[in-house]
Amino acid sequence: MAQDGAAVAVNYRSGNAEAEEVVAAIEERGGRAVAVGGDVSDYEQAASVVAQTIERLGGLHVVVNNAGISRDALVFNMDPGEWLEVMKVNFGGTFNCTKAALEQFMGQREGSIVNISSVMGERGWTGESNYAASKGAINAFTRCCAVEFARFGIRVNAVLPGFAPTDMVAGLMEKDGGKGISKQIPMKTFATVQEVARTAVFLAGPDSSAMTGAMLTVDGGVSAQVGVGKPL
């Protein structure tokens, strides 16, 4: 976003040092950024994040809902608290930040919301029921918001990554370096975080001005196939 000229508010919950590193990297390249603390799973804190962003940067035009956690387990073994925790952060954070930004966006009759979802929201995977359900909720929410907000000039879209090398999926890579998963991907490679990010930038900006309610997959073809793609 910063490379394309945006002033960026970097939200964090507990990772202040990491957020400041991102701010410093943006400023070193001549951009403008601030770090804004707040747990987006709590509506009041999400509203504070939005208010601080508007106050410190002078406005708000784009919201990227990217907060996410996973608590993988089989349904039989899953603690009900873990199911709720995942839903509160993943979907709750998306709902809270969207609602918190609405007054600003509706008043200026312009805004772009990009939700970082997952192909898990459209498909299934063993041990991912809570995570997949939270992302499925985000996808449905994206479509409904797109319809509701269109008359105010507000666009709402989602990016659906497949497997990408982030801290969240590190455990899946430990067994064999991810080869067991990558061989099931038609393109035989993972998406990079940069590829996912550029898709979010596209949806946020003017090149996608006619798009709302869209779900863009960045998954190397995973969601296009039946099973794992092996010959029957």
- How many CB atoms lie under 10 A from the CB of residue 96? 25
H/E run at residue 154: strand 154-161
Looking at 131, 141, 149, 163, which residue is catalytic?
A: 131
H/E run at residue 136: helix 129-149
Asked if 43 is an active-site residue, the reply is: no
Nearest 10 degrees: Cα torsion 71, 42, 158, 129 = 20
Classify residue 67 as left (phi > 0), alpha (psi -120 to 50) or beta: beta
Closest CA to 105 of 156, 144, 140: 156
Show which residues are catalytic: 131
